[in-house]
Chains A and B, each alone.
Chain A
Amino acid sequence: MSGLVAAVSGPGPVTGWRERLRPLRSLAAAARRGAFYLALPAALIILWQGLFELGLIRPILLPPPSTVARTFWTLTASGELPLHIAVSLLRVLEGFAIAAALGLILGIGIGLSRSLDQATDLTIQLIKPIPPIAWIPLAILWFGIGEAGKVYIIALGAFFPVLVNTIDGIRQTDHRYVELARILEVTRSRFIAQVVLPGALPSIMTGLRVGLMVAWICVVAAELIAASRGVGYLIMDARQLSQTDQVLVGMITIGAMGKLLDVLLKAAEHRLITWKTTYSGN
């Protein structure tokens, strides 16, 4: 072993300075990666503040980061923002759970059954393009101005990505596996459980991640229905009072929460899909 180390790192003492510095070097590499990650957002914020200082943008049209940060702090310290986030998060999770359950069940059914696919295809294709906001009048009529209507809008938005990606994932099962299963006379249930579903898993996870994103996006639409709390409500309320800084706080919060949820889902994806499926750049 020491001979190998010597051969690789050249002549010198066995526990050389290179080995001692290795942990430091990987830390530096991580820091460099982190800096690269943050460079663009930081540059945009600095540019934004700079334009304001030069008097090139009117604060009512786009308040500077300093004002937005101050409003963010005030809302967090008073407990308002955490409350609104919690309320919206609950609605999103409820809606997403319903959408995911229905999307998975229907998606797997349609993916596996040609007849179900043909029976439902036209209906789904007609309803899919209708944006969640367009459903608001009906949602109010059917569910009133309570929680149910808002969860309905969110579930509707998240449903289609889950459905479409689940169907796609099942369709993409490599036909060579199908042939192989037929030759080896694998039973249909084993084939589905051990080949089709695991093969569809990457697509299904993509569908779930997109669905969760759409669910967050729909929160603003859903909270147009006479809400009194929530991040979407916060944005609309600020709009009525011409408080553009609060609008921005709401928007940034939604972006941050969306990112957080995505990170969690990605971690779950890592656990479930232990084989490499994608290309991720050089």
Chain B
Amino acid sequence: MSAFKIASWAVAAALGLASPALADEIRLATQPIPHYAPIFVAKQKKWLDEELAKVKPGIEVKWSSFAAGPPINESFAAGQQDFGFLGDTPALIGKSVGIDTKVVGLTSSGPKSLAVIIGAGSAIKDARELKGKKVAVTKGSYAQHLLALVLEKGGLGFSDIELVNLPNAEIAPAIISGTIDAGAVWEPVISRFEAQKEIRVLADGTGLKKGVLVIIATADFVKTKPEQTRALLKAYARAAAYIKANPKEAAELVSADTKLAPDLLAQVFAKFDYNPVIGPDDVEEIRRAEVYLRTIGILKTPVDVNSWLDRTLVAEGGAK
């Protein structure tokens, strides 16, 4: 080895040893869907890093992507995450089995962002005709609650249908191939397959379920690092306002993160209210979901929604 090489190795080693102590980390568990678009906007525009740097420089953001809420619960249980973005249902389930979290804000709400869909050529006209049919949903997701409410409107229960447990992404293809008759799904599946004229919406959350999704954080993180929590919520609110003002640009920015083409995504944005502030009707929605889950036996221990929600952090840092 030449003297130059040895020297450069030595310099590199010295620099490595002289670098500052290991930076703080903040670990986010996300899902690649339009419901969480603001966090991706904040990521792409570097607003999250900006707001965190105001609190303390050198905080590193670690991103993980999950296919649905239940795997996020697993990751929280293993102590691997600080923040999570998921539906009210899996968040409640996680809290009830002992994952110590707090809801610090809403990611979005949107009654039109979740729906019970059927094939475009299907003869089914209303919920009553779902009796005896094969209906798919991701169990433990907030779409399961919508399905229950839609069935209830048609005078049916889960025992009147053949429930098939499928991941969100597989439900529309299964309807198209004829293996199942209907399914309860959330965006981007609805817009993507509606655009292809393969499916149509039987009933969405309008009048039934507001489709509230939440930002959870470990109770420990909220207690020890409230400033960083507020910083994240501030970045989120900033991104939410940006999406409202510039849907086209925002769609271009996060099309890859949310797995939907920009023009469709811009349309889908209209279905969501991205304001992270938790309003009283949102509290009511979450409480209603908690009661439903307990009634059907999914929640074994009740969750005290009031103490679980921390509405103060986002009110101070949020958009309104």
Which residues of A approach B to under 8 Å, CB–CB? 58-61, 144-145, 226, 228, 233, 236-237, 239-244
Total number of residue pairs linking A and B with CB closer than 8 Å = 49
Q: Provide the B131-169 mask, 1 if CB < 8 A to any CB of A, else 0.
A: 000000011100000000000000000000011111000
Known: A61-B77, A145-B179. A240 touches B165 (CB 8 A): yes
Contact yes or no, A241 B140, CB < 8 A: yes
Name the contact of A237 in the complex, choosing from B73, B139, B166, B179 (C-beta under 8 A). Answer: B139
- Complex: A242 Cα to B73 Cα, angstroms: 7
Residue B94 at the A interface, CB < 8 A?
yes
Residue B70 at the A interface, CB < 8 A?
yes
Q: Closest B residue to A71 by CB, please name it.
A: B300
CB distance from A175 to the nearest CB of B (A): 56
Name the contact of B164 in the complex, choosing from A61, A226, A236, A241 (C-beta under 8 A). Answer: A226
Contact yes or no, B179 A144, CB < 8 A: yes
Contact yes or no, B70 A228, CB < 8 A: no
Contact yes or no, A242 B94, CB < 8 A: yes
Contact yes or no, A242 B93, CB < 8 A: yes
| Residue numbers in A under 8 Å from B300 (CB-CB) | 243
Residue B99 at the A interface, CB < 8 A?
yes
Contact yes or no, B77 A242, CB < 8 A: yes
Contact yes or no, B166 A226, CB < 8 A: yes
CB distance from A84 to the nearest CB of B (A): 14
- Complex: A239 Cα to B140 Cα, angstroms: 10
Contact yes or no, A228 B77, CB < 8 A: no
- Complex: A144 Cα to B97 Cα, angstroms: 35
| Residue numbers in B under 8 Å from A244 (CB-CB) | 97
Q: Provide the B92-107 mask, 1 if CB < 8 A to any CB of A, else 0.
A: 0110011100000000
Sampled A-B contacts (14; CB under 8 Å): A58-B98, A144-B179, A145-B164, A145-B174, A145-B179, A228-B162, A228-B164, A233-B165, A236-B165, A241-B70, A241-B298, A242-B97, A243-B97, A244-B97
Q: Provide the B77-120 mask, 1 if CB < 8 A to any CB of A, else 0.
A: 11000000000000001100111000000000000000000000
- Complex: A240 Cα to B166 Cα, angstroms: 11
| Residue numbers in A under 8 Å from B298 (CB-CB) | 241
Contact yes or no, A240 B140, CB < 8 A: yes
Q: Closest A residue to B178 by CB, please name it.
A: A144
| Residue numbers in A under 8 Å from B77 (CB-CB) | 58, 60-61, 242
Question: 7 closest A-B pairs (Cβ-Cβ)?
Answer: A240-B140, A240-B70, A242-B97, A60-B98, A241-B140, A60-B97, A240-B139
Residue B126 at the A interface, CB < 8 A?
no
| Residue numbers in B under 8 Å from A145 (CB-CB) | 164, 174, 179
| Residue numbers in B under 8 Å from A242 (CB-CB) | 70, 73-74, 77, 93-94, 97, 99, 140
Contact yes or no, B93 A241, CB < 8 A: yes
CB distance from A66 to the nearest CB of B (A): 14
Known: A60-B77, A60-B98. A239 touches B166 (CB 8 A): no
